[in-house]
Structure 1
Amino acid sequence: MRVLIVEPGKAPRQSEIRRKLSSMQKVVGGTIQVLYPFGEPVALVCNDEGKLMGLPANRALRDSEGKLYDIVCGTFFLCGAPPDSEDFISLTEEQMERYQQRFLHPELFLNLGGEILCLPL
């Protein structure tokens, strides 16, 4: 399936991966966690223990008002996730382009005494 891989400190890249659990785990470097933060059938697949393992902060997740609510640590990928299905599918061309732009710039995270500041690099 065609996915968008987002690594810390790098621009996103398109890739083909197999629809096997082992292939997905290889991309994220461990057990997978699946998030659905976008309001459309797109899954963000990341390392379930990324924060606990101390993987590098990668990209911010923001609410509809643009406020940061979470940080994904470690490499993650985006793929299609049809409603009412447990299978993943390729991103469409439109989704691929939209999310490449959304995650184009790596981000730097600074802890300012309990407040997190997120800056594009």
Structure 2
Amino acid sequence: MKILVIEPEKAPYEKEIGDDIHDMQAIVGGCIEPIYFEPKQDALVWCNDEFLLNGSQPNRVVGNVLVHGTFFVSGNYMNEYGEWDSCSLTDEQIEKYSKTFKNPIIALGKMEMADIEALCEVFEETEEPEITMS
């Protein structure tokens, strides 16, 4: 599965992993949790579900969540059983999310007022995706 890995203070990079839970957990360093951030639901962010408890470094804003620690983006599709499942990202998605997550979060101690205002604008402009149950 082709994914995009985003580590704190680093540029996003592409990586190939297996499509099993153990490979996914190895990337984030523990149990995984999805974050639905795309209105079309064609991609997911996977993070460590204990990122607030394990002292992980702030990384990027995803939707309206400040994610700490390493996370990755995978594709998302409806399988033949009508269930959502992870898949490889397309080249277009790799390019899109590389740009989306290009800039790391600046440590709060180093933030200027303009940075804080820009971060607030990101939160204000983010729309909650509509999640429907079929």
Task: Give, in whole Å, the separation in 2 of the partners of 1:79 and 1:61.
Answer: 14
Secondary structure, aligned partner of 2:59: strand
The TM-score with structure 1 as length reference comes to: 0.82
Kindly tell me the number of residue pairs found equivalent between the two proteins: 109
Q: Which amino acid aligns with 1:38?
A: E
Match of 1:30 in 2: 30
Trace 1:1-121 onto structure 2 (pairs within 5 A). 1-40=1-40, 41-62=42-63, 69-83=64-78, 84-110=82-108, 117=116, 118=119
**AA at the equivalent of 2:24:** M
Aligned equivalents of 1:61, 1:30: Cα separation in 2: 19
2:127 aligns with none
Structure 2: where are the runs of 5+ without partners? Answer: 120-134
* Residue identity in the other structure for 2:2: R
1:11-69 CA distances to partner (integer Å, 9 max, x unpaired)?
0000001111110000000000011112121010000001111100000134xxxxxx3
Q: Report the more deviating stretch, 6-15 or 32-41.
A: 32-41
* Deviation for aligned residue 1:6: 0.2
SS of aligned partner of 2:92: helix
Give the 3-state SS of the residue equivalent to 2:108 in structure 1: strand
Runs of 4+ in structure 1 displaced over 4 angstroms? none
Amino acid at match of 1:28: V
What's the RMSD between the two structures over aligned residues?
1.8
- Percent identity over paired residues: 38
